[in-house]
Homo-oligomer: A and B are copies of this chain.
Amino acid sequence: MINFSDVLKTVRLFKGIEESDLHPLLSCLDAKVNHYEKGQTVFFNGESIERFGIVLSGQVQVVQDDYFGNRSILAKIDSGNLFGESFACAEIKTLPVSVITTAESELLFIDCHRLAVPCAKACGFHSRLIQNMLSTVSMKNIALTQKIEFTSKRTTREKLLAYLSAEAKKAGCSRFTIPFDRQELADYLSVERSAMSAELSKLRDDGVLKFHKNQFEIL
């Protein structure tokens, strides 16, 4: 295994684990690194996976083909991030998606069972790792639930207000900065950018909020 420690440090799953402990941990987990060329398929639709992946370099995409053959991109996974962990952990029999590389990539694979079952040596990192894994999946869960709350509103105005008020609540302040530009926000809320811009202006004119670029204030 080449030296990927600078990437591994940034992986949330390994948070709280000393850099010096990473190597023994990975061999304990029987982790394996594979090299992929651009455009290769990592996980095939329909197969059953027991390992999930971590992108060490390059990028992968999670894609889905529907009944009619239309392909849609569900996620782009960059260096330092996990993919397939939900499917591996949920012990899904047939993968409903495919994972393909969009660039030459180094990918690390870890067996979900190995992670969940304490090893014979009872190494001390294991419980930390398990907590991190649970935390990672749970946080994704919370983020997804929140997104659904926003997007399930019927009008653009309500979606915006739901999102912005949540951000204000999170910031604990009526003034806050959002991490999206307009196009990204529109995509996140599943609305049209121009219609959203118009609605933002309307909200401003109605005296509900002020904004400048990514800075917002609810009045």
Q: In the docked arrangement, what's the CA distance between A148 and B87, Å? A: 17
Name the B residues within 8 Å of A87 (CB-CB). Answer: 138, 142
- 19 more contacts with CB within 8 A, not counting A118-B127, A144-B148, are A66-B162, A66-B169, A67-B165, A67-B168, A68-B161, A68-B165, A72-B149, A86-B141, A86-B142, A90-B141, A91-B135, A96-B146, A113-B131, A116-B130, A117-B131, A133-B134, A134-B137, A137-B141, A151-B152
A141 to chain B minimum Cβ distance, whole angstroms, is: 5
Name the B residues within 8 Å of A67 (CB-CB). Answer: 165-166, 168-169, 218
Query: Which 5 A/B pairs are nearest by Cβ-Cβ distance?
Result: A67-B165, A90-B138, A89-B138, A144-B144, A86-B138
What is the total number of copies of this protein in its complex?
2
Residue count of chain A within 8 Å CB distance of chain B: 50
**Interface flags, A49-84, vs B, CB<8A=1, else 0:** 000000000000000101110001010000000000
In the bound complex, do residue B151 and residue A90 qualify as a contact, i.e. CB atoms below 8 Å apart?
A: no
